[in-house]
Amino acid sequence: MSEADAEEPELVADVLDGDHRALARTISKIEDRAPGYRDIVSALHAHTGDAEVIGVTGSPGAGKSTLVDKLAKTYRDRGLTVGVIAVDPSSPYTGGAVLGDRIRMASNVGDMDVFFRSMSARGQLGGLSTATADAVKALDAFGKDRIVVETVGAGQNEVDVVRTADSVVVLVQPGSGDDVQMLKAGILEIGDVFVVNKADMDGAATTVSDLREMLHMRDGTTAGAGHHGAGTTADGSDGDEDEGWDPRIVETVATEGEGVAALIDALDAHYDHLRSTGELDRRARTRTAEEIRRLLRSDAADLLEEEIDRHGGMATLVDEVRARETDPYTVVDRLLDPLADCVRERRERDDPAE
């Protein structure tokens, strides 16, 4: 048994016992994809499902970090424990979080019941990597009551936050035409609560009015699409529309903590709505199906990379195709045949009747 294998059960036990140092080590292993991390996440999975997960997104400069800081403080004032994952831009050199060392969560310094972690997006679209979803599981199993995922705010691809969060908060700052256009580009569909932050600035009332009009248009013209729409979900079940929930608009001045209580009230109302309508379970099923597919794609891609190397590498295959010695379809068949044969053999062995 390797040293990593021997450490895993103890680390899992310490996380479940509420050891913050063990939690930090676990998330480091998850982020680094260190040996044994999958076994750790698998062991923690049975202890998840109790936390309320909140995604916070919006364009850079909208005040997400300040709002999340005040949100965590208010939750703590109400006796709830909090975990925060801030997904920062990836360093092009190390893959680490460029903003990972900046001072965050100033209102919660020294509070052990607020666990903050800045993580790298690792180039994933929307700023949420598989590692982030696994870190959410670790915080959930640890026993955090609320988990907040603050995303990079990179535009339309931010819809990935939906795969992790029960409720999605979209921040907009007043007087920014670019923010309104960004919402029109796609983020509008994922929001459950919209926050006009820096509401003491000129233009706040206009921004609120614009948001109301856009949400009305969304509900009137995009039924069946996006985060709230009906259709078939990723798990193959019927996706009933998230009926009865009208996205809330909340005005805040995060630097002063103004409006944060109203934001929490809106989030609580949305979570109650999810539970009472069965939407919470539907979203959880969709996330699980997406996670399984994502992991299958990732692991299958790794196997195929090994097979490419076995055939001399991609450059060799490209040379063969360019020389007209073969073609892309034949190359793919050659790479996939051994994997397909293994799957068929396993299927026949497990179920000879087929």
Instruction: Identify which of 145, 211, 136, 168 has the alpha carbon closest to the alpha carbon of residue 64.
Output: 168
CA distance 247 to 215: 8
pLDDT band at 94 (very low <50, low <70, confident <90, very high): very low
118-141 burial: b if 16+ Cβ within 10 Å, else e: bbbbbebebbbbbbbbbbbbbbbb
Average pLDDT over residues 142-150: 95
Q: What pLDDT score does 46 carry?
A: 96
Q: Is the pLDDT of residue 239 over 60?
A: no
Average pLDDT over residues 9-29: 95
User: Of 76-80, 182-186, 341-345, which one has max mean pLDDT?
Assistant: 76-80
Q: For the chain, give the number of residues.
A: 354
Q: Is the pLDDT of residue 179 over 70?
A: no
Instruction: Set out the domains of the chain in order of their start, with CATH numbers.
Output: 1-47 (no CATH), 48-277 (3.40.50.300), 293-350 (no CATH)
pLDDT band at 162 (very low <50, low <70, confident <90, very high): low
User: What are the residues facing 119 on neighbouring strands?
Assistant: 87
Q: What pLDDT score does 106 carry?
A: 59
pLDDT band at 186 (very low <50, low <70, confident <90, very high): low
- Secondary structure letter of residue 323 according to DSSP: T
CA distance 203 to 176: 9
Q: Is the pLDDT of residue 178 over 60?
A: no
Rounded (5°) CA angle 196-197-199: 85
Q: How many Cα neighbours within 13 Å face the side chain of 55?
A: 27
Mean pLDDT of the chain: 82
pLDDT band at 226 (very low <50, low <70, confident <90, very high): very low
Q: Is the pLDDT of residue 78 over 90?
A: yes
Q: What pLDDT score does 107 carry?
A: 60
319-353 per-position pLDDT tens digit = 999 999 999 999 999 999 998 999 999 988 888 76
Please, where are the H alpha helices in 143-194? 177-184
